[in-house]
Structure 1
Amino acid sequence: MKYDEYRGFDALGLAELVERGDVHPTELLRVALERCAEVDPEINAISLLMELNGKELAGRADIRGPFAGVPFLIKDLAQDYAGYPTSGGTGPLRGVRATRNSLNVQRWLDAGLVIFGKTTTPEFGAKAITETRTFGATRNPWDTTRTPGGSSGGSAAAVAAGIVPMAGASDGGGSIRIPAAHTGLFGLKAGRGLISSGPEFGDSLFGAVTEGVLSRSVRDTAAMLDLLSVPDPGAPYAVSRPDQPFRTAVGTPPRRLRIGFSHESPLGTKVHGEAVRAVEDAARLLEELGHTVEPAAPVFDGKQMAFDFMTVWTANAAAVLSRACAVSGSQPTDFDIDTQVLAAVGRAVAAPELMAAHARWNGYTRALSDFHGRYDLFLTPGLAEPPLRIGQHRTPALADTLLPPLLRLGVGKVVSRTDFYRDLVTANLSAVPFTQLANITGRPAMSVPTYWTPAGLPLGVQFVGPSGSEYLLLQLAAEIETARPWFDRHPA
């Protein structure tokens, strides 16, 4: 098989070729590895190449499953593969090997996927860009001077560049949808509790985090959701599943929907004209498809929501850094300065303050629920501006020198009031202010690649649905995919 032929199939399509005997998994892996060798030196999407593991999996005589023989990459964050390190985007953890597979990695293996590497992520998945001290910058295949987003930036870059048709991802504040919007891919964040993160994790970030994939086709994501949403008896709670498989949603058009849309940032910050045009373009397309679309948005204090999100986020960063130091024998100064700052601020959060911030999440959930009482879906930009340039939000070198001594003095509360910390929060959220609401409320949401800027940059739009609306979202995504196909759009 040649690369151009390989690129012409999604993951299910490649699996069908394997099932028919038209191609062997070792041949698919060869093409994927050759493509990786060709493009990864430029895009830097792979943090750990597991070539021998991939060859062993591809060569198994008993390989089977819905994705049997398809090359696959997993995210280097919380997706543990026994015998290999999960670095979380940081140097100190590169020497700590996982002792068992995470639940979803095992499900991917059982589905016949050929895992041959791990993809880059910002340190502990804490940024909307993928740039670290350890691995450097991951680049967007559509324009290598720009970021593919984060935190699943490596997976997005690998899929967009054609190394694999689909890759593992996760989303705690937009980390599936943001990279999808950056790279012209489809990305669905499932609702709270539908996909387990076990056995290592239960209700990460108060349930804001979920795992999933980035893909080039809606049907790949739908079929993957069928695999990943199998109930886990050890999960914190159970949620209802639809009566029919998610994959059937692709062949069933949605009912006519009422959709509210807004392109105003909940932070009150500027939204680029191209992001506005992306939403307006999507609204026109939806009307052409027979849906009712009108300006509307849930009513809540967006700035307070950002503060409440970051309060929980920084407290979690402190816990994650402490655990990483314990298992690796490292010091906080061995990690990125941004991580040190977030953790320092998090350590300064008092327990009542943390619980009060989390309690206010209920208000945002109620506001979104009220909105969904009137509208089936909420349409927003995926990003507030086109993909950022590499280094645009890099921490100043002077701060990298001056802050560590201050942090060792335990001045997290002071740091949280500095311009540097405010700039760090702004860098994380002002370019991506639309995605956190779905994580806080636990609602499913998706990024759909409906728009490219005149400069040729992808700029996906987001749809947020009510609880249990994954099936509906997939139906609409498939309808949009048919009306405005994106599968054959490739970066030069």
Structure 2
Amino acid sequence: MDPFVSLDGTAQAELVRRREVTPLELVDAAIARIERCNPKLNAVVQTQFDAAREQAKGPLPEGPFTGVPFLLKDLLAAQRGQPLTGGSRFMKDFVPDHDSELVKRHLRAGLVVLGKTNTSELGLLPTTESALYGPCRNPWDVTRSAGGSSGGAAAAVASGMVPFAHASDGGGSIRIPASCCGLFGLKPTRGRNPTGPDLADAYHWLVADHAITRTVRDSAALLDATEGPDVGAPVFAPPRSRPYLMEVGAPPGRLRIGLSLRNAMGAPVHPECLAAVATAARRLEGLGHSVIEANLHLPGEEDLGQHFMTAWAAGVVHGLEAAARRMGREPDPTEVEPFTWALYQFGLAQGLSGYLRSQEELLRFSRAFAHRFEEVDAWLLPTVTEPAPTLGSFATPPGEPLQPLFHAATFTPYCPMANMAGNPAMSVPLHWSPEGLPIGVQFIGRFGDEATLFRLAAQLEAAHPWTHRRPAVSA
């Protein structure tokens, strides 16, 4: 029996601090779990086991997670000497010569990186089925998607390969796979974690990096280790009042929580996703909170999808052209997926005026969204509109290269608003369907107020725990 598989990162680090285990023992056990589970899931697409073992032999920094095994998403997280493909055939040979600031902070916290996790190409879709690495399977049902774009991270954590893993979120890419795989996923406030030195921002302020975790305390402690602007950061979040780990277990008080099921896309919501929100509302009221049904309607929201798509497409143009400069050659439509190429062409067609208009409208939305927190402390919404979809659901039909985008918009209409406004948001695993599929519910907090979300999440975790549940594919 593996004595570490049920322990979160905080507990594993405590064993190392007490000298009851060595980092190498933790790393060897995690490698064995990856070798056992990954062939069934395709969650880890690059491994660096020899380097990890050498790192684990020490010396390691004395941080909150000294010796704890960790995985990086194969997107944005540059690590010197390790491939960074973004899930794209065009960048399959790119190897950074430096660490990103966030990765430096991961290493400074004592984490030992074992490899990279699967992602959709450039992180564009809410499923993880790239042409480069193939589909990532959901540990709860291998015929279904693990979500995306951080699906590899979620599948690795849910199956027990590692206690937590790096993830990023530009339109729900932490929260969606957390929901699909029965995990906790928090997207921090815009600017909370660093994006340097390579990026002034990621996808025009839409993307935030953090992690997918099994426990709330791991998410809080890891954010404590990584938060704060790097030198020269153009945008950074309001400073925290105290360490986030101190919020875990702290009484949240009687919160006013707005409940909204309306979305501008008008997509139907699966009955089990509605049941997840209804169950969460009852549990919140049972914990003493006030749940207020309200309409999260904002002026001009009907056009927001177009502005978000314009900004997203501009990010694709920027991302592919930046990759072309690194690779020393122009983007080639035979080396990227049809959906990505169509979005690239759409972005080029918008022009400077269209891009600036989208930015103006997204900033206008941010201001209006902030006013919706004058009478509530957080909003409760679905994370997704259906349980984990079957693999292949987001395939590109012949002659319709943008069809996956339209499917994505109806699958996750509730997530992008937190990216557009920059607010912190989390998916909490509080519901399982009769078929045994996990379904998360989403909470969006005030800008800069991760503290309230951590207090609330920890209270829900204590009252309605989820970490004892194990999927079909589990270490």
TM-score by length of 2: 0.96
CA contact (8 A) 1:308 1:357 kept: yes
CA contact (8 A) 1:260 1:377 kept: yes
Q: Which residue of 2 aligns with 1:189?
A: 187
Query: Shift of the alpha carbon at 1:422?
Result: 5.5
Equivalents in 2 of 1:331, 1:206: separation in Å? 24
Alignment of 1:7-406 (within 5 A): 7-300=5-298, 301-328=300-327, 329=329, 331-396=332-397, 398-399=398-399
Q: Which residue of 1 aligns with 2:435?
A: 455
Equivalents in 2 of 1:96, 1:481: separation in Å? 40
Equivalents in 1 of 2:42, 2:162: separation in Å? 14
Moved more, 312-321 or 110-119: 312-321
Inter-CA distance 422–122: structure 2 relative to 1 (3 Å threshold): closer
Query: Shift of the alpha carbon at 1:62?
Result: 4.1
Give 5+ residue unaligned stretches, structure 1.
Answer: 400-419
Query: Shift of the alpha carbon at 1:24?
Result: 1.1
CA contact (8 A) 1:199 1:234 kept: no
Query: Shift of the alpha carbon at 1:211?
Result: 0.6
Any idea what SS the aligned residue of 2:70 has?
strand
Deviations 1:320-349 (A, max 9, x none): 122223322352321111111110111101
State the 4+ residue runs in structure 1 displaced beyond 3 angstroms.
none
Query: Shift of the alpha carbon at 1:63?
Result: 4.5
Q: Report the aligned-residue RMSD.
A: 1.3
Equivalents in 2 of 1:239, 1:437: separation in Å? 17
CA contact (8 A) 2:60 2:66 kept: no
Moved more, 61-70 or 208-217: 61-70
Moved more, 298-307 or 129-138: 298-307
Q: Which residue of 2 aligns with 1:407?
A: none
Equivalents in 2 of 1:488, 1:373: separation in Å? 37
Deviations 1:48-74 (A, max 9, x none): 111111111111134421101111000
Equivalents in 2 of 1:304, 1:431: separation in Å? 18
Equivalents in 2 of 1:372, 1:384: separation in Å? 24
Any idea what SS the aligned residue of 1:72 has?
strand
CA contact (8 A) 2:154 2:178 kept: yes
CA contact (8 A) 1:317 1:346 kept: yes
Deviations 1:232-271 (A, max 9, x none): 2221134322221111000211010111112233311111
Report the residue type matching 1:482 in the other structure. Answer: A
Equivalents in 1 of 2:379, 2:176: separation in Å? 16
Moved more, 476-485 or 26-35: 26-35
Report the residue type matching 1:352 in the other structure. Answer: S
Any idea what SS the aligned residue of 1:83 has?
coil
Equivalents in 2 of 1:127, 1:34: separation in Å? 30
Equivalents in 1 of 2:335, 2:229: separation in Å? 38
CA contact (8 A) 1:145 1:390 kept: yes
Query: Shift of the alpha carbon at 1:421?
Result: 5.1
Query: Shift of the alpha carbon at 1:95?
Result: 1.3
Report the residue type matching 1:132 in the other structure. Answer: S
Report the residue type matching 1:435 in the other structure. Answer: C
Query: Shift of the alpha carbon at 1:488?
Result: 1.2
Equivalents in 1 of 2:321, 2:235: separation in Å? 27
CA contact (8 A) 1:258 1:376 kept: yes
Any idea what SS the aligned residue of 1:260 has?
strand
CA contact (8 A) 1:263 1:275 kept: no
Query: In the alignment, is residue 480 of structure 1 matched against residue 460 of structure 2?
Result: yes
Deviations 1:338-392 (A, max 9, x none): 1111101111012111111211113322332221011111100011001100001
Equivalents in 2 of 1:14, 1:89: separation in Å? 30
Deviations 1:157-200 (A, max 9, x none): 00001000000011111111111111111111111111111111
Seq. identity, %: 41
Moved more, 231-240 or 206-215: 231-240
Report the residue type matching 1:298 in the other structure. Answer: L
TM-score by length of 1: 0.93
Inter-CA distance 433–475: structure 2 relative to 1 (3 Å threshold): same
Report the residue type matching 2:51 in the other structure. Answer: N
Equivalents in 2 of 1:376, 1:101: separation in Å? 37
CA contact (8 A) 1:196 1:202 kept: no
CA contact (8 A) 1:257 1:292 kept: yes
Moved more, 61-70 or 110-119: 61-70
Inter-CA distance 133–455: structure 2 relative to 1 (3 Å threshold): same
Equivalents in 2 of 1:384, 1:238: separation in Å? 32
CA contact (8 A) 1:148 1:156 kept: yes
Equivalents in 2 of 1:168, 1:126: separation in Å? 17
Equivalents in 2 of 1:255, 1:352: separation in Å? 46
CA contact (8 A) 1:321 1:332 kept: no
Any idea what SS the aligned residue of 2:431 has?
coil
Any idea what SS the aligned residue of 1:164 has?
coil
CA contact (8 A) 2:65 2:111 kept: yes
Report the residue type matching 2:433 in the other structure. Answer: T
Any idea what SS the aligned residue of 2:144 has?
coil
Equivalents in 1 of 2:76, 2:53: separation in Å? 23
CA contact (8 A) 2:388 2:437 kept: yes
Q: Which residue of 2 aligns with 1:403?
A: none
Report the residue type matching 2:336 in the other structure. Answer: F
CA contact (8 A) 1:75 1:119 kept: yes
Report the residue type matching 1:425 in the other structure. Answer: L
Give 5+ residue unaligned stretches, structure 2.
Answer: none
Equivalents in 2 of 1:164, 1:98: separation in Å? 24
Inter-CA distance 367–421: structure 2 relative to 1 (3 Å threshold): farther
Any idea what SS the aligned residue of 1:8 has?
coil
Equivalents in 2 of 1:37, 1:62: separation in Å? 24
Q: Which residue of 1 aligns with 2:405?
A: 425
Equivalents in 2 of 1:488, 1:238: separation in Å? 36
Moved more, 191-200 or 73-82: 191-200
Report the residue type matching 1:317 in the other structure. Answer: V
Which has a greater percent of helix? 1
